Amino acid sequence: MKVVVLGASGQLGSCLKKVSAEREFLDISFPSENEGNILDPELLEKLFAREQPEFVINCAAYTAVDKAEDEQDICRKVNRDGAAYIASACARHNATLVHISTDFVFKGNVPQLLSETDPTDPENIYGVTKLEGEEAIKGILSRYFTIRTSWLYSEFGNNFVKTMLRLGKEREQLGVIADQTGSPTYAIDLAGVIFDIIESGSESYGVYHYSNEGVTSWYDFAKAIFDISKASVKVNPVKSSEYVTKAVRPAYSVMDKSKIKNTFSVAIPYWRDSLEICIQRLQPE
């Protein structure tokens, strides 16, 4: 089956390239932004007409959470309008869409597992526009898998793990938020599950949650990074109220992954186990 990946130059797109090569998934293309600009419907139409994909994976998103508060228009264009353009192209060309969304669609103010059917109530523009993208897809297309994920990291792109590893070499101590709780997600694991869904042939369309197993805070996540990488850094816990950002973030956004596990029979690794693999790949010595 032919697969096209949009947003291929980003972190998840890079992981999809790596995993597809390992799986010898040959009929897959990773068009550049010039070939597959999600804000250019005419360009998308040409791409779909040429490639005739059976599946489209949309990794493209505006993800600068704090900057989005000042750049609401472009954030909405990418996260809502871009998703709608892709869904429309998929509908015209009879393709199934795999769309990546976020735990930030939830308010995250209650310490309980969040299911796909729980009420959404985003508190920042990034979350609002990602939810608008989800809703746009749902209104246009019936054949879609929307996967909400959280705290994405890998050896590619810019992410929390790579930032901590860099700071571990530059500083003797640093403060990290201790009162925001969630589940890290190794983007390589997410890429693997995306291919599992595509290869399953399932028609159980809809919204799914995926992150690595387990729960942690940013503080404990950082502590684990330095422990695994053997960096001598003192990590000080910081309250969110002491580290003010433009965008409000969920205090507790741990997602229930029962649906994706039961539907596709996937085994989800524990977050620290995946973190060890990632750091080993970043620091092979």
Q: Which of 62, 85, 126, 153 is catalytic?
A: 126
The secondary structure of 100-132 as a DSSP string is EEEGGGS---SSSPBPTTSPP---SHHHHHHHH
Q: Whole-angstrom Cα distance, residue 108 to residue 240?
A: 14
Numbers of helices and strands, H then E, in the chain: 10, 12
Q: Could you tell me the two tokens for 126?
A: 């990034």
Is beta strand 55-58 parallel, antiparallel or unpaired with respect to 28-29? unpaired
Q: Closest Cα partner for 61 from 83, 48, 79?
A: 79
Helical H segments across 151-249, by residue range: 160-170, 187-200, 218-229
Active site (annotated) includes residue 210: no
In this structure, the number of other CB atoms found within 10 A of the CB of residue 10 comes to: 21
Q: How many CB atoms lie within 10 A of CB 38?
A: 23
Known catalytic residues? 126
